[in-house]
C-alpha cells in the first residue's frame, strides 16, 4: 500500500476504534439532544459589516471541534449559499482547548461556544438573511457527525453589542505582532508521496503543553499532526503534508498558518520565510 494510503488508513482506523466504544445510552440520542445551534444577530460595525455569531449549546459532557480538529476530530463545514444579500462570511474563532477522545488528541471546545461571524453585505443598507448548512462533529465517549441548518433574517438597525459575542472576540488568539513573535522560518523536504515541513518560531513561552497546529491554506492538502519542541526562545514543529489525491503539489509558504496553543495564551501566525 502506498505511504499516503497507509496514513489515511490509520486515520480511518482511529475513527473506527472510537466509534466502536459507543455506549448504548448515547446511541439513543438524537442530534438535537447533543447540540443546538442558533444565530445571534449582533450589531453593525462602522464599515457596514455585521458582527453576528453562531451559538452552540452542547449537552453536558459533549464537545465540538475547532477548524483544525486534531488526530481524530471531525472538521466543521459551513455552506452559506442559501443566504440573501451576503457577499462574504468570516468566522473569527475563539481560542480552543486541547482535549482527548479515547486517547487521541483533539482540538475543540468542551462547553457551549459562541463563534463570532463577520458578515459583509452584497448591497449596503439592504436587508440580509444568513442561512447556513452546517456539518460538525460532536463528541462524548464517541464522535458523531451532525448535520444541521440555521437561518435568520438579520435586523437593519445598528443593534447593541452582545456581551456574549464580545467575550468570544476577546478570547481569540493573539496575532504575531501582539505576541512579539520574531522570525518564522520554514524548511521543506520531499518525502514519499508528499513533503516534510519544519518550522522554527521565535517567541516567548506562553504556557505549558505547547502545540503548533499547521494549516496549509489549501483544502486539497492533508496535514499530519505536528511534533512540537520548545528550545529556549524558539518553538519548533515538524509535520508531513500530502495531496488528498496523491498528486504532486506546490506549497505556498505565505498561505501557511501556524497556531501555537498552550495551557496559557495562543498565537495565530500567518506565513513563513524560507529557512
Element (H, E) at 137: strand 128-139
Nearest to 52 by CA among 111, 109, 131: 131
Low-confidence ranges of the chain (pLDDT < 70): 1-29, 31, 101-102, 275
pLDDT on residue 257: 97
pLDDT on residue 275: 66
What distance in Å separates the CA atoms of residue 19 and residue 11, rounded to the nearest whole number? 13
Write down the residue that cell numbers 501555537 correspond to: 260
The gap between the terminal CA atoms of the chain, to the nearest Å, is 33
pLDDT on residue 262: 94
Write down the residue that cell numbers 500530502 correspond to: 242
> What is the sign, positive or negative, of the torsion defined by CA atoms of 139, 140, 144, 149?
negative
**Residue 56 CB-density burial (10 A; 0-12 exposed, 13-18 middle, 19+ buried):** buried
pLDDT on residue 13: 39
pLDDT on residue 96: 95
pLDDT on residue 6: 42
pLDDT on residue 123: 95
Element (H, E) at 52: strand 50-58
Write down the residue that cell numbers 455585521 correspond to: 50
Q: How many CA atoms lie within 13 A of 172 on its CB side?
A: 16
pLDDT on residue 99: 78
What distance in Å separates the CA atoms of residue 9 and residue 264, rounded to the nearest whole number? 34
What distance in Å separates the CA atoms of residue 141 and residue 268, rounded to the nearest whole number? 30
As given in the structure block, the three cell numbers for residue 172 are 481569540
> In Å, how far from its chain's centre is CA 93?
7
What distance in Å separates the CA atoms of residue 146 and residue 32, rounded to the nearest whole number? 9
What are 92's strand-pairing partners?
none
For residues 236, 5, 65, 130, the Cα torsion angle rounded to the nearest 10 degrees is 120
Amino acid at each position: 500500500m502506498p505511504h499516503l494510503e497507509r496514513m489515511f488508513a490509520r486515520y480511518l482506523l482511529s475513527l473506527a476504534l472510537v466509534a466502536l466504544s459507543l455506549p448504548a445510552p448515547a446511541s439513543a440520542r438524537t442530534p438535537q439532544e447533543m447540540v443546538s445551534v442558533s444565530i445571534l444577530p449582533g450589531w453593525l460595525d462602522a464599515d457596514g459589516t455585521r458582527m453576528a455569531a453562531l451559538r452552540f449549546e452542547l449537552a453536558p459532557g459533549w464537545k465540538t471541534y475547532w477548524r483544525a480538529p486534531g488526530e481524530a476530530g471531525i472538521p466543521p463545514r459551513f455552506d452559506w449559499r442559501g443566504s440573501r444579500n451576503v457577499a462574504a462570511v468570516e468566522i473569527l474563532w475563539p481560542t480552543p482547548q486541547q482535549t482527548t477522545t479515547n486517547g487521541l488528541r483533539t482540538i475543540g471546545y468542551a462547553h457551549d461556544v459562541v463563534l463570532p461571524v463577520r458578515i459583509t453585505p452584497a448591497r449596503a443598507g439592504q436587508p440580509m438573511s444568513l442561512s447556513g448548512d452546517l456539518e460538525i462533529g460532536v463528541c462524548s465517549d464517541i464522535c458523531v457527525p451532525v448535520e444541521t441548518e440555521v437561518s435568520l433574517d438579520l435586523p437593519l438597525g445598528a443593534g447593541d453589542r452582545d456581551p456574549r459575542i464580545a467575550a468570544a472576540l476577546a478570547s481569540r488568539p493573539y496575532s504575531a505582532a501582539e505576541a512579539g513573535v520574531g522570525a518564522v522560518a520554514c524548511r521543506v523536504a520531499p518525502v514519499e508521496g508528499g513533503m516534510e515541513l519544519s518550522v522554527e518560531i521565535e517567541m516567548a513561552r506562553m504556557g505549558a503543553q505547547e502545540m503548533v497546529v499547521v494549516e496549509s491554506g489549501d483544502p486539497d492538502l492533508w496535514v499530519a499532526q505536528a511534533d512540537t519542541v520548545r528550545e529556549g526562545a524558539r518553538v519548533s514543529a515538524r509535520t508531513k503534508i500530502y495531496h488528498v489525491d496523491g498528486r504532486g503539489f506546490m506549497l505556498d509558504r505565505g498561505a501557511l498558518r501556524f497556531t501555537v496553543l498552550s495551557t496559557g495564551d495562543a498565537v495565530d501566525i500567518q506565513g513563513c520565510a524560507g529557512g
